[in-house]
């Protein structure tokens, strides 16, 4: 069981998957000849190399076993990713300030200690800093709050 | 004496008020991120890259360079005072630096490391000046196959730096090369792996990749680990004793020498230099038992070595346009964004940029001594800022930076995607640095590969019949063989275990 959940085995599987994906999604690209290589020549080659390397890595891991993968804690990675995506969604529509508040709030929820007063303080400091650096200092053409500022 | 003319030209560029200011900003930011654990120079430079669009090319590169070697200085402060390396090249400084601090010699450790770094930085800069021109002349004789082999050497060498399995690092290089090919094929105009997303037709920008792979992954891993800090140590006097000076000087000299050499090698760089020089000191010391208990040599040597290497690692980037590590890959990107094609032409076409940057590196090193010694109290205070404040701030700057790359939220989403990928990579023990180098070199390498094959009418033997290319490939093979040798493998594993411990 643990043999298949080792870091090495899973990364081998990952490389095989990337190799397969490269060959599959690049199947419509002309391969060409070694003299006149088509757009698909190098990607195809890399796809096969990745598959071979992945097989070797996974194979060695199967024989020798390896370090088990730590159970991932999903909250930090989920909150951080959601924070960045929400920032992207809000930035142009609502302006910098709402996007900033959402990002800092969500990212802080990803950590293990969350105190609302601290987070609000952090938001205030970062908002002032960002406005000074990006708006005043660098003259970036962004709205602080869309339609108002 | 052409060299002095060059230096005079460089000096003229470097001491302009604006460039001095950007050198200073770069050094301050570099020291800051060196001091703050949880964010390295790669992520910071990726984050600040968009800001440099607004600057003239020389100032932009001067600032980015300042961040890079500034981080090598700043990292030592936290290693010594709180046993927490700010970034990877200061990891071995912890071993003896922190012990010196506990013995009440914190001030001496700090000044030995700052002065050793300054000396090494000066020597490193001189080496860049001496070697840049001959190497550039050599580089102009390079054909497509030679370039291709050189990049192969660089990529293989980058693998040495990766701390995990060699096989996985090689696979990461190939994966990076593959992802680097996303976009429009320059020869035929075909769309490759763009999935009909128009933003992808220009290819994948390496800045969001670096932010995601290094910035976000670092943050998430730190959040999981609940980064905590031990108490800081007070700094009494900055003066080392006469005995400490007597022992530190030869160690700093050896560190400088070793660091300079390892910096020039592709794939070398500050971290490798610091580890090797520490090992060397321990090996040649008459009293190896004092290492780990506060030996001043154990601070002087690696700190000099990492700084010398930080300087000389600019040589392959400036003369050949080949980055030797992830930070240099970002510098190459910064140059391309500024409309400068890195490579041997930079020196002849943009001498002011080339020499200005080199001279400013020395000035920056001088500034760093001033920033690091008298202002040490300020940096120590900064260490008390808890990570739960820093993490959202770093994320925010990454997101704004990514947006301003092209005024497009697409880049922000890219950061999120590569953040998830970076997290998966780190969980699986696959390293981001070889991936990033592959990504940056991918398009160029394919270009040279296709051109070489076209010129040779499809005969792959061109790579072994041209002497330069053959030599480079032999060097690549030797490196691969060396890594497979049990002795070296063990030493490498040991060095990286100490890093994790």
Tell whether A94 lies on the interface with B, counting CB pairs under 8 A: no
What is the count of residue pairs from A and B with beta carbons less than 8 Å apart?
180
- For chain B, helix (H) and strand (E) counts, in that order, are 24, 2
**Per-residue pLDDT, B319:** 84
Least confident range from A109-118, B26-35, B87-96: namely: B87-96
Which residue in B77, B29, B56, B57 sits closest to B397, CA to CA? B29
Query: With 50 as the cut, is the pLDDT of residue B501 above it?
Result: no
Cα angle value B216/B92/B42 (rounded, 5°):
25
Rounded distance between C-alpha atoms, residue B279 and residue B276, angstroms: 5
Rounded distance between C-alpha atoms, residue B109 and residue B104, angstroms: 10
pLDDT tier, B63 (very low <50, low <70, confident <90, very high otherwise): very high
Percent of chain B with pLDDT over 70: 91
Q: Which tokens is B226 given?
A: 């609940």
Query: With 90 as the cut, is the pLDDT of residue B20 above it?
Result: yes
Tokens 């670092």 identify what position?
B218
What is Dmax (Cα atoms) for chain A? 66
**Per-residue pLDDT, B443:** 83
Rounded distance between C-alpha atoms, residue B67 and residue B209, angstroms: 19
**Per-residue pLDDT, A5:** 80
Average pLDDT of chain B to the nearest whole number: 83
**Per-residue pLDDT, A69:** 83
Contacts of A130 in chain B (CB under 8 A): 396, 400
Mean of pLDDT values over A118-127: 92
Please tell me which residue of chain A has the smallest CA distance to B223. Answer: A111
Rounded distance between C-alpha atoms, residue A104 and residue B223, angstroms: 14
Rounded distance between C-alpha atoms, residue B149 and residue B470, angstroms: 8
Least confident range from B4-18, B26-40, B417-431, B459-473: namely: B26-40
Rounded distance between C-alpha atoms, residue A93 and residue B108, angstroms: 54
Query: With 50 as the cut, is the pLDDT of residue B500 above it?
Result: no
Query: With 60 as the cut, is the pLDDT of residue B232 above it?
Result: no
pLDDT tier, A102 (very low <50, low <70, confident <90, very high otherwise): very high
Burial label, B189 (beta-carbon count in 10 A; 0-12, 13-18, 19+): exposed
Burial label, A68 (beta-carbon count in 10 A; 0-12, 13-18, 19+): middle
Please tell me which residue of chain A has the smallest CA distance to B215. Answer: A80
**DSSP category for residue B325:** S
Which residue in B290, B4, B256 sits closest to B118, CA to CA? B256
| Bridge partner residues of A145 (DSSP) | none
Residue A104: which of B392, B453, B454 has the nearest Cβ?
B392
8 A C-beta contact, residue B441 and residue B147: no
pLDDT tens-digit series, residues B233-285: 666 677 788 888 888 999 999 999 999 988 887 666 787 788 888 888 888 88
Contacts of A83 in chain B (CB under 8 A): 392, 395
- Indicate yes or no: CB of A11 within 8 angstroms of CB of B400: no
Mean of pLDDT values over B224-240: 65
Rounded distance between C-alpha atoms, residue B284 and residue B265, angstroms: 24
- Indicate yes or no: CB of A80 within 8 angstroms of CB of B388: no
| Bridge partner residues of A32 (DSSP) | A37
User: Can you tell me the ipTM of this complex?
Assistant: 0.92
Residue B193: which of A26, A50, A54 has the nearest Cβ?
A26
- For chain A, helix (H) and strand (E) counts, in that order, are 5, 0
pLDDT tens-digit series, residues B286-323: 888 888 888 899 899 999 998 898 888 888 888 888 78
- Indicate yes or no: CB of A140 within 8 angstroms of CB of B398: no
What residues contact residue A101 under an 8 Å CB cut-off, 6+ apart? A123, A127
| Bridge partner residues of B192 (DSSP) | B183
Tokens 């001594």 identify what position?
B369
Residue A88: which of B174, B193, B413 has the nearest Cβ?
B413
**Per-residue pLDDT, A13:** 95
Buried b (16+ CB within 10 A) or exposed e, B258-270: bbbbbbbbbbbbb
Percent of chain B with pLDDT over 90: 15
Torsion sign over Cα B87, B90, B93, B95? positive
H or E stretch including B183?
strand B183-184
pLDDT tens-digit series, residues B345-394: 888 888 888 889 888 988 998 998 888 778 777 777 777 777 788 889 88
- Indicate yes or no: CB of A112 within 8 angstroms of CB of B226: yes
**Per-residue pLDDT, B33:** 81
pLDDT tens-digit series, residues B68-87: 888 878 878 878 887 776 66
H or E stretch including B130?
helix B106-139
**Per-residue pLDDT, B131:** 84
**DSSP category for residue B439:** H
8 A C-beta contact, residue B445 and residue B454: no
Contacts of B429 in chain A (CB under 8 A): 7-8, 11, 67
Mean of pLDDT values over B101-124: 89
Q: Which tokens is A32 given?
A: 């060409």
Kindly write down the DSSP assignment for every residue of B306-369, as one continuous string: HHHHHHHTHHHHHHHS--SSHHHHHHHHHHHHTT---STHHHHH-HHHHHHHHHHHHHHHHHHH
Nearest chain B CA: its distance from A59 CA (Å) = 12
How many residues does this entry show for chain A? 149
Kindly write down the DSSP assignment for every residue of B215-232, as one continuous string: IIHHHHHHHHHT---PPP
Residue B412: which of A40, A60, A87 has the nearest Cβ?
A87
Rounded distance between C-alpha atoms, residue B431 and residue B40, angstroms: 14
Mean of pLDDT values over B43-52: 81
Of B233 and B418, the structure prediction assigns the larger pLDDT to: B418
8 A C-beta contact, residue B337 and residue B55: no
pLDDT tier, A1 (very low <50, low <70, confident <90, very high otherwise): very low
Tokens 């008459």 identify what position?
B286
Query: With 90 as the cut, is the pLDDT of residue B136 above it?
Result: no
Q: Which tokens is A146 given?
A: 């869309």
| Bridge partner residues of B191 (DSSP) | B184
Nearest chain A CA: its distance from B497 CA (Å) = 14
Of B489 and B335, the structure prediction assigns the larger pLDDT to: B335
Residue B463: helix, strand or coil by DSSP? helix
Most confident of B272-276, B399-403, B488-492: B399-403
Query: With 50 as the cut, is the pLDDT of residue B172 above it?
Result: yes
Least confident range from A73-77, A106-110, A142-146: namely: A142-146
Tell whether A18 lies on the interface with B, counting CB pairs under 8 A: yes
**Per-residue pLDDT, B419:** 94
Q: Which tokens is B47 given?
A: 């984050």
H or E stretch including B124?
helix B106-139
Of A60 and B371, the structure prediction assigns the larger pLDDT to: A60
Rounded distance between C-alpha atoms, residue B232 and residue B214, angstroms: 27
Residue A32: helix, strand or coil by DSSP? strand
What residues contact residue B459 under an 8 Å CB cut-off, 6+ apart? B453
Contacts of B407 in chain A (CB under 8 A): 141
- Indicate yes or no: CB of B416 within 8 angstroms of CB of A15: no
**DSSP category for residue B341:** -
Query: With 50 as the cut, is the pLDDT of residue A124 above it?
Result: yes
Q: Which tokens is B458 given?
A: 């499809």
Residue A1: half-sphere exposure toward Cβ, Cα within 13 Å = 0
**Per-residue pLDDT, B164:** 66
pLDDT tier, A24 (very low <50, low <70, confident <90, very high otherwise): very high
- Indicate yes or no: CB of A39 within 8 angstroms of CB of B185: yes
Q: What is the pTM of this model?
A: 0.81
Query: With 90 as the cut, is the pLDDT of residue A84 above it?
Result: yes
Query: With 80 as the cut, is the pLDDT of residue B490 above it?
Result: no
- Indicate yes or no: CB of A18 within 8 angstroms of CB of B178: yes
8 A C-beta contact, residue B466 and residue B455: no
């Amino acid at each position: 069981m643990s043999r298949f959940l080792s870091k090495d085995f899973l990364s081998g599987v990952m490389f095989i998957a990337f190799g397969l994906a490269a060959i599959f999604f690049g199947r419509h690209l002309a391969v060409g000849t070694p003299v006149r290589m088509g757009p698909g020549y190098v990607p195809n080659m890399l796809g096969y190399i990745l598959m071979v390397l992945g097989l070797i890595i996974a194979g060695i891991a199967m024989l020798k076993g390896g370090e088990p993968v730590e159970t991932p804690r999903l909250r930090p990675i989920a909150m951080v990713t959601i924070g960045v995506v929400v920032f992207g969604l809000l930035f142009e529509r609502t302006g910098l300030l709402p996007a900033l508040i959402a990002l800092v709030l969500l990212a802080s929820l990803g950590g293990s200690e969350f105190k609302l007063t601290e987070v609000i303080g952090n938001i205030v400091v970062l908002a002032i800093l960002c406005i000074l650096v990006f708006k005043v200092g660098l003259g970036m053409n962004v709205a602080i709050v869309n339609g108002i500022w | 004496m052409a060299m002095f003319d060059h230096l005079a030209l460089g000096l003229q560029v470097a001491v302009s008020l604006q460039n001095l200011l950007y050198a200073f900003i770069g050094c301050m930011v570099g020291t800051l991120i060196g001091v703050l654990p949880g964010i390295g120079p790669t992520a910071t430079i990726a984050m600040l890259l968009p800001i440099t669009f607004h600057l003239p090319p020389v100032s932009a590169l001067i600032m980015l360079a300042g961040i890079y070697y500034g981080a090598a200085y700043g990292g030592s402060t936290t290693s010594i005072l709180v046993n927490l390396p700010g970034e990877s090249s200061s990891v071995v400084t912890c071993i003896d630096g922190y012990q010196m601090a506990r013995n009440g010699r914190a001030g001496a450790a700090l000044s030995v490391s700052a002065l050793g770094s300054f000396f090494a930085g000066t020597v490193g800069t001189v080496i860049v000046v001496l070697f840049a021109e001959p190497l550039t002349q050599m580089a102009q004789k390079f054909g497509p196959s030679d370039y291709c082999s050189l990049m192969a050497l660089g990529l293989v060498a980058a693998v040495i730096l990766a701390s995990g399995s060699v096989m996985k690092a090689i696979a990461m290089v190939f994966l990076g090369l593959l992802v680097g090919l996303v976009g429009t094929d320059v020869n035929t105009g075909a769309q490759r792996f763009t999935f009909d997303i128009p933003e992808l037709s220009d290819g994948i920008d390496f800045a969001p990749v670096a932010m995601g792979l290094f910035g976000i992954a670092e943050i998430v891993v730190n959040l999981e680990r609940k980064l905590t800090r031990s108490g800081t140590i007070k700094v009494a006097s900055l003066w080392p004793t006469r005995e400490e000076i007597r022992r530190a000087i030869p160690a700093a000299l050896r560190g400088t020498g070793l660091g300079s050499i390892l910096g020039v090698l592709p794939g070398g760089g500050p971290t490798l230099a610091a580890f090797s020089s520490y090992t060397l000191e321990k090996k040649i010391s008459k009293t190896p038992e004092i290492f780990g208990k506060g030996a001043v040599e154990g601070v002087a040597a690696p700190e000099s070595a990492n700084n010398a290497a930080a300087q000389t690692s600019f040589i392959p980037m400036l003369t050949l346009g080949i980055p030797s590590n992830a930070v240099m890959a970002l510098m190459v990107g910064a140059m391309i964004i500024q409309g400068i094609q890195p490579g041997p032409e930079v020196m002849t076409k943009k001498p002011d940029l080339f020499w200005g940057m080199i001279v400013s590196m020395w000035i920056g090193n001088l500034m760093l001594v001033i920033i690091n010694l008298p202002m040490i109290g300020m940096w120590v205070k900064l260490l008390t800022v808890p990570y739960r404040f820093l993490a959202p701030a770093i994320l925010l700057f990454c997101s704004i930076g990514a947006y301003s790359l092209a005024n497009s939220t697409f880049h922000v989403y890219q950061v999120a995607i590569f953040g998830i990928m970076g997290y998966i990579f780190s969980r699986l023990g696959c390293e981001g640095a070889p991936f990033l180098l592959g990504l940056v070199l991918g398009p160029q390498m394919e270009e040279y590969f296709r051109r070489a094959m076209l010129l040779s009418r499809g005969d792959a033997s061109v790579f072994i019949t041209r002497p330069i290319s053959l030599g480079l490939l032999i060097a690549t093979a030797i490196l691969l063989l060396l890594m497979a040798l049990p002795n070296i493998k063990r030493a490498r594993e040991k060095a990286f275990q100490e890093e994790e411990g």
